[in-house]
Every structure is written in structure tokens, then in C-alpha cells.
Amino acid sequence: ANYFSKFSKPPVICKLVGRKVLDGIGQPTLEVEIYCTVKNYEKRICSTIMASHSQIPEHALPETIEADEKERKDSVNTAVGWVNESLNTLLRGLESTDQCQADKMLGEYFANKVQEKKEIQKREEEEAAKVTPVPALCPPAPIPKQKKGGRPVNKVLVAENPIPPAEPAEPVLCGSLAIGGTSLAIAKAGATISHVPLYLYIALLKHDQESPKEMTLPLPMVTLLNCEKNLSTKLKLVKEVMLIPPVELSLKQGIERIQDIQKEVTRLLESSGERPGPQADSKKGKAQSSGKKAEPPPLKIISHLGCLTTGYDNLEQLLLLMQTACKNIGLELGTDMYLAINCAAHQLMDYDKGKYEILTGTFKNPDEMVAMYVEMINNFPFIIALIDPLRKEDREQWSSICCALGSKCYLIAEDAATHISKLKTDQNINIATCSGVVLKYINQTKVSDLIELTGILDGQRHITILGSPDGESLDESLVDLAVGLGARFLKLGGLSRGERVAKYNRLLAIEEELAANGTLR
């Protein structure tokens, strides 16, 4: 039976099913199921759930959040419609192992949708122009001029401290989730039909079907603390504190060591009797007068990133905690464990002042930020990676910081990098001025896009980091993508919340599998 099955017709896609489901933070997202005709029978092969990603800043206004949620629902509903109707018809009869052709068809379909959107917008603008000739006869309307002239202070400040204005957010076409979800689902189906794990299937696609003799696992960037920027504490510079195990440890040993550090950090915070956050008010006597019993330390608050949520008054306070925790369990930062810090600088910029607010009431211009980072890395050499230390618009300072620190730590662009679609078309956008880029599998990203872009990054000797979006799901495909693409790092969040722990468990399983096969480098 096995012999004759080799001569049977290869399985082809017979049906796609799109469904609205919830992600790890309860937001709607898209699930895509693939059905194939296998030896004349319709068979469900696999499904994939897309992670959701929001571009709105943390703690935005309620109306902004409400508008974003409505937009997300509309996008998911549109994506479900695309999958069940247009894409279902378009891809029917295609071999599930023909990833290149599938992604080409998906790309053309998406390009047509973008063009349709532009034509609709153009028609709406033309219709609006026909309706507005009467008001156009009165251009010197007083109200608009007052609004424009109502910002004289801002204009003066911008002139004194010229900073590049914020680039507009990359537009996301409603329904684009359908493209990424379908592409990944087809890749999973191809791996299942080919009887190989997804990470090996991706590696074969990247290396023109040549099986790699050895495979390297990405180093995990495990988020230990999420420092929220809206707390009463002063430190704004740090969004995430991440631990990176040394390369000589196995992944299993590295995760166990990180768990030990996490337990000790939690113990230290609990033994202090109060959350670091309220210490900002100690000058006013609030923390001292209230006592330990008045406000129990909410240390068990786990953020959506799967780690503890806390806050600090300064960077030294935070790093001292990390050093103490490691020392207490016989480890040394810089030898037994390393730190990475996500600065999320785009959230720090005060555009009225033209400066970054690194502490409450303390501002620095882009050049001063570079000097501050140089001093930080010189004082704390165990920090081996900075993510988004500057906005992407500050290209001159990116070049400066890379010249100053490029040999001492990784300078990584996450939100400071452009979207995958733009990186593909213009390979020089912000890549030349950083060590590497965090890539996220979201929206219209296709598997072929990731393969192409990681090839470009490899050729330019830039590192690839695959990152987990804010709204993760239980789908573990991101880990297989990272291993198959040969990513240097994998940024998954913390060691809590099921949707994130599932990915760490998948990474551990892949390590065992590669070690058993003798292909783990």
C-alpha cells in the first residue's frame, strides 16, 4: 500500500474555512482551516490562528481604544469573508506543497484589493470635491486660521529643537489577516502532507529543498519584567527587561536558570513589603505612612506579555535588583546570564518639547539619548541588546549609536523598523543602521516574504529576531518559523500565560528532536 501510494495523485486543496476566534487576550482574530483531497477523500489537514497586533500606544484614550476594537472586528469579519469565498475559490485544486505558487496568488489577490481600495478612496474624494465648491469660495475662514495660528509655541519649539516628525503609521488594509493566515495554513498543510515537521519544511523552502545538515536553535529573549510607563514611578525608559541565557547552555538549562532568577526576583520584591511602584510617593510620606498592610504588593499581576508588571524610579534601582537576584542564587550577570532592554523609544517622545521623557520630568534630545546609552552600556556591560533605543525617524542618531556601541551590544529595531512589505521593496530602510530587526508574522505577511527577507538580512550580516505580537494565540507556528528560518533570537514574552508557554514548550520539543536526530548544532 505504501509503495503504490507514491504513484497516487498528490493531495490538492479542496476547501478553506475561515472562522472568527479569540486570541490570548480575548480579542477577535482569524482561524484558517485547510481541507485537502487525499486519495479521493476530503480530509481536514490543519488549521492556524493568526496573532493580532495593535498599533495604538499603551493606555490610549478610551475613544481611541474603542475605534481600534471596532476596526479589528471589521478586519476579522472581512478576513473571514475573504477566506470562505474568494480565496476558497482561488486556491481550490492547488497542490498544498506548492507554497511559492500559493503565495504568488495570494500576493496578486491582495494587490488587487489594495488597488480597489485606492479607487474607492479616489471616487469618494472626487465626489466630496463636487459638493464643496461653495465653501471653497470663502477660503479665509477665521476658525481654521485660528486653529493653525493657535500653535505658535509649538512652531517655535520645533524650530529650536528640530526633530524629524513622526512618520505616519503604515496603513493596514481591512481583511489583510486572511493573506497571512492562509499562507501559513498552507505551509502547515504542506509539512503535514510531506510528513516532516514545519520547521524542517520551512528550512527546505528557504534552502531550495536542500536538507540542512545542522540546525541552530534561536536564543530565547525571555521577558522577566514589564515596566509600565503609566505608573506613579518615575522610570519611563524601560518597557521590558529580558533575560538571554549564554550559548553554552542547552535551551532546557537556560529556561531552568531563568525560572530560578524569576523566583528570586519575585521573592525579593515580596520581601520588600511593597511594590516598587508606590516608592515614587515616599517623598510625600505616602508609602511610609500607609504601611505594608494598607496596600498589599500586587506582584502577581501578570501582563499580557506573560511576566510580572512593576515600575521603578530609576534604571540603577532596576539593575541592582537584577544583580542582587542573580548573586543570591550564585549567578553573575554578564557571565551566567545576560540582559536585554526594550526601550520602546517611540512611546517616550514629547513632540511639544522635541525630546524623549526618560524619567518623569526629565527630557533628553536624540543626541543626549545616544550619550546616555553609551554611558549605560559602559557601566552595565551585561546588557547585550537594546531594542528600539530611538525612534525610526532619528536616523542620524541610529548611525551614531551603532558606531559607538555596535561592537558592544545588539541594537535592534522592532517598532523602529518598517513593515515587512516595505523592507522587501526597499532593502535599505533603516536596516543599515542597526544590528538586526524584529520580524512579526502579522496581517498580509506571507511565508515567502519571511523567507526572502531573512535571506536579505543574512546577506547583509544582520541578525533576525522573530517576535511575538501583543495578542498571541495558542498557535505554535512562530517557533517553527524561527527555527526553520535560522533566526538568531526568539522574542516570545514571559514564562506565564498559556499562549506564550506553549511556544516555549514547542521550542524545548524541537531541541529534543534535533538532539535525537544528531542535527542540533
- Evaluate whether 12-119+171-195 and 201-271+299-517 have a shared fold: no
The whole-angstrom separation of Cα 482 and Cα 251 is: 14
The whole-angstrom separation of Cα 182 and Cα 34 is: 8
φ, ψ at 221 (rounded to 5°): -100, 100
Q: Does domain 201-271+299-517 have CATH number 3.20.20.120?
A: yes
The whole-angstrom separation of Cα 395 and Cα 434 is: 10
CB distance 322 to 265 below 8 Å: yes
The whole-angstrom separation of Cα 351 and Cα 348 is: 9
Nearest to 331 by CA among 280, 233, 262, 384: 262
Read off the DSSP letter of residue 278.
G
The whole-angstrom separation of Cα 499 and Cα 450 is: 22
Give the pairing of strands 489-493 and 219-227. Answer: parallel
φ, ψ at 223 (rounded to 5°): -75, 120
Q: Which grid cell sits at 453?
A: 527577507
Read off the DSSP letter of residue 446.
-
Q: Which grid cell sits at 31?
A: 482561524
The whole-angstrom separation of Cα 16 and Cα 44 is: 10
Per-residue pLDDT for the chain (521 aa), expressed as one digit of tens each? Answer: 888 888 888 999 999 999 999 998 888 999 999 999 998 899 999 999 998 877 666 667 788 888 888 999 999 999 999 999 999 999 999 999 999 999 999 999 999 999 999 999 988 888 888 876 555 444 555 554 444 445 554 444 444 457 888 888 778 899 999 999 999 999 999 999 999 999 999 999 999 989 889 999 999 999 999 987 667 788 999 999 999 999 999 999 999 999 999 999 999 988 875 444 434 443 444 444 444 444 444 445 888 889 998 888 899 999 999 999 999 999 999 999 999 999 999 889 998 899 999 998 999 999 999 999 999 999 999 999 999 999 988 989 999 999 999 999 999 998 877 667 666 666 554 455 789 999 999 889 999 999 999 998 888 888 999 998 888 888 999 999 999 999 999 999 999 999 999 999 999 999 999 999 999 98
Against a cut of 0.85, is the pTM above it? yes
Block residue for cell numbers 478610551: 62
Map out the domains of the chain as residue ranges. Answer: 12-119+171-195, 201-271+299-517
Q: Which grid cell sits at 516?
A: 535525537
In 266-361 the beta strands, taken as DSSP E runs, fall at 308-310, 338-342, 349-350, 355-359
Name the helix (H) or strand (E) containing 317. helix 315-328
Q: Is the dihedral of CA 437, 439, 444, 445 positive or negative?
A: positive
CA distances from 209 to 106, 202, 203, 205, 446 (A): 22, 9, 8, 6, 19
The whole-angstrom separation of Cα 342 and Cα 491 is: 11
Read off the DSSP letter of residue 331.
-
Q: Write the CB contacts of 370 (distance below 8 Å, at least 6 apart in sequence).
A: 390, 397, 400, 401, 404
CB distance 100 to 447 below 8 Å: no
Burial (CB count <10 Å: 0-12, 13-18, 19+), residue 406 = middle
Predicted local distance difference test score (pLDDT) of residue 237: 92
**Strand order, beta sheet including 28-38:** 12-22, 28-38, 41-49
Predicted local distance difference test score (pLDDT) of residue 431: 53
Predicted local distance difference test score (pLDDT) of residue 12: 96
Name the helix (H) or strand (E) containing 267. helix 251-271
CB distance 405 to 381 below 8 Å: no
Q: Write the CB contacts of 51 (distance below 8 Å, at least 6 apart in sequence).
A: 23, 29, 440, 441, 442, 468, 469, 471, 472, 473, 475, 478
Name the helix (H) or strand (E) containing 13. strand 12-22
Q: Which grid cell sits at 131?
A: 459638493
Nearest to 496 by CA among 301, 267, 213: 301
- β-bridge mates for residue 95, sequence order: 12
Read off the DSSP letter of residue 276.
S
- The one-letter amino acid code at 230 reads N
Q: Write the CB contacts of 403 (distance below 8 Å, at least 6 apart in sequence).
A: none
Q: Does domain 12-119+171-195 have CATH number 3.30.70.100?
A: no
Give the pairing of strands 489-493 and 463-467. Answer: parallel
Helices 62-82, 177-194: inter-axial angle, 10-degree rounding = 50
Predicted local distance difference test score (pLDDT) of residue 58: 62
226 is catalytic: no
Name the helix (H) or strand (E) containing 38. strand 28-38
Active-site residue, selected from the candidate residues 84, 365, 443, 517:
443
